[in-house]
Every structure is written in structure tokens, then in C-alpha cells.
Amino acid sequence: MLLFNSLSVSIPTISTIPSIPSHLSRFGRHYHHLLRVPRPFSSNPLPIVTKNQKPFFSSALVSTEEGNTEVEFQVLTAINSIYNDIVIVDTAESRMLLLDSTHNVHSIFMKGQTWTGSYWDEFATLPAIIPEGPIAIFGLGGGTAAHLMLTLWPSLQLHGWEIDEILIDKAREHLGLSDLEKHTEDGGVLHVHIGDALSTSSNIPGGYAGIVIDLFSGGEVLAQLQEVETWLEINKKLMPNGRLMVNCGGSSDAIWEKNSTINAMCKAFPGQVNWKKMPKSDGENYLAFTGPLPDLSMWSVGLPDRLSSSIKQWTSCFPS
């Protein structure tokens, strides 16, 4: 299986298909256990020239615990929008959405399995600790979090906000996003909205029960999320007792004080922010959510083993 911490794609113009590196280092038996998303990648690409600007198949030299092997992949689309350089890559086991000049993996569509082995899985725990009601995803991307949440909670009413309409069109075409826009047997559905999630246009009457926030630009957490006022405005979009759950970015640092997003949240909501850092095997992203720290044992009840076992890693930024 592929790893992406060293996947890099160069897209010079909207009219050309990118070169894809044929050597992707630091791969492992299970790529999703080593995924770091989003974060800058490094690589030594050996370009593969495409013909006639059509999707193509090629192979990547993959280093695994068992040695080197060839993995076949296909570029399904490569296009520039006013917001992103968009690349979608297909392998036998997954499809990946790579964005902006860093070409970080912003979404992944798994084939034949549920878990991504990264922060998206954690977002699927949020419905267990919020009131009944609609949930927003600010930074929908290709819909990875929405896929997981509707798989585990098929009656959810999700509202996904994404600023890039071309990205949404490509995600519908290649990443199964259109399937989520159809009602499940339990009535759950994803409503896709094109627009700025941080504007007043993302408000709904009565507020959201929860908001998942996964907003990045240029490989970094959106700059507005370092500002206290931004968090106070986002919080106004919640119903009473609602919560925010946030991807605060990847880092090798081990303490939350070095994460500027969590620091801004703690200033906005004193004593009401909880955090965890994903283990190295799952990407090392910082995550945070607002509100009182729930009883962790009660939270884990009813969750799949894959999620319940990680609940105990959450802690308050300011333990009592």
C-alpha cells in the first residue's frame, strides 16, 4: 500500500498533466498508518511524461519492510482552479486528492475498507458527544470525513462547506461524493455548499450540533484560525452544548502549547478545550475539540473498537 509523506506532484499550468514522481520513499506495509496530512512533502521526483493530456497508468518504486516493489497508479485528473492545483491519483487500494502547491493529501477514498488511519477517523467520534442535530464540515474537500460519519452514523444530516466548486465537481466524479448526496436508508445525507465556511453564509437557523473544521491553505492551517475572534464567530454557529472538533495540523512537537491553533482556541474558550496528538503511526496531527471533557469510558461505548481504543488519548488543555 502507498504512503504519502513523500508524494509530490508538479503542475505547471492548467493545460498540462503533471509529472508524477516514480520514486516515493519511506513507504510501509500499510500506508495509512504513516499518513501525515496535510503537511509539506519532500521527494526526488523522476518525471513520467504523459501523452495527449490523458489519464495514464504508471508505477512507483515503493520501499516496504519486505523490500522494494512496484505499485501501479493512475492520474485521474489534474486541473487548476482559482483556489487549488487539483490532482486525483488512483491506486488499487485508494484514491487520493492532492491540493495546492504542496500537493498534500487532503482527502482519501478507501476501497474495501473503512479506516484511513489518520485524523479523519477521529472526526467520526464527534456525533457521540453532541446534541442531536445537523453537523457541519468546514473544509469538505473530497468528503473523507463525511464518508466515515455517514458510514457509522447513517441518520446524520451533514452540511459540507467547500470554497472550490471545481474540486467538488471532481470529487463527485472520482471520490464518491455524489453517493453521499443521496439519502441513506436511515435518512442521512450530505448537503454540499459552495462558499466560504467562515462567512455568515454558513450559518443555519438553530445552529449546528457540531462543526468539524479542516481548513488548510498552502499546506498550513488557515491563518484566520490563529485568531481568537475567528473562533468566537465560529462558535456562534453552534446550538447550545454544541462542539467544535478541529484538525490543528501536523507537528513533531509533543506539547499543545507549541500549536498556534490550539493556543488561539484556548484563549477564546478558557478551560473548555481538549486536545490529543495522533501517534506517529497515524500522522502526528494535533486535534482539539471544545466543551467539557466527557467521561471517556462513556464516550467510547458504542464506538467501533478502532475508535474506542483511541478515546483515552484525549485530555483537557488545563486539567483540573
SS (H, E, C) 90-125: EECCEEEEEECCCCEEEEEEECCCCCCCCHHHHHCC
Q: Which residue has the higher pLDDT, 62 or 72?
A: 72
Query: Which element (helix H / strand E) includes 128?
Result: none
Query: In sequence order, what DSSP letters do the residues of 203-228 get, joined into one string?
Result: --TT-EEEEEE--EETTEE-GGGGSH
Summarised one tens digit per residue, pLDDT across range 248-306 is 987 666 677 778 999 999 999 999 999 999 887 777 889 999 999 999 999 999 899 98
Summarised one tens digit per residue, pLDDT across range 93-147 is 899 999 887 778 899 999 988 899 889 999 999 999 999 999 999 999 999 999 9
- pLDDT, residue 255, reads 72
Compute the distance between CA of residue 164 and CA of residue 139 in angstroms, rounded to an integer: 10
Q: Which domains does the chain have, with CATH numbers?
A: 23-110 (no CATH), 119-316 (3.40.50.150)
CB–CB of 307/121 below 8 Å? yes
Compute the distance between CA of residue 33 and CA of residue 47 in angstroms, rounded to an integer: 27
Q: Which residue has the higher pLDDT, 3 or 69?
A: 69
- pLDDT, residue 67, reads 57
Summarised one tens digit per residue, pLDDT across range 158-203 is 999 999 999 999 999 999 999 999 999 999 999 999 999 999 999 9
- pLDDT, residue 12, reads 30
Residue 78 in grid coordinates? 489534474
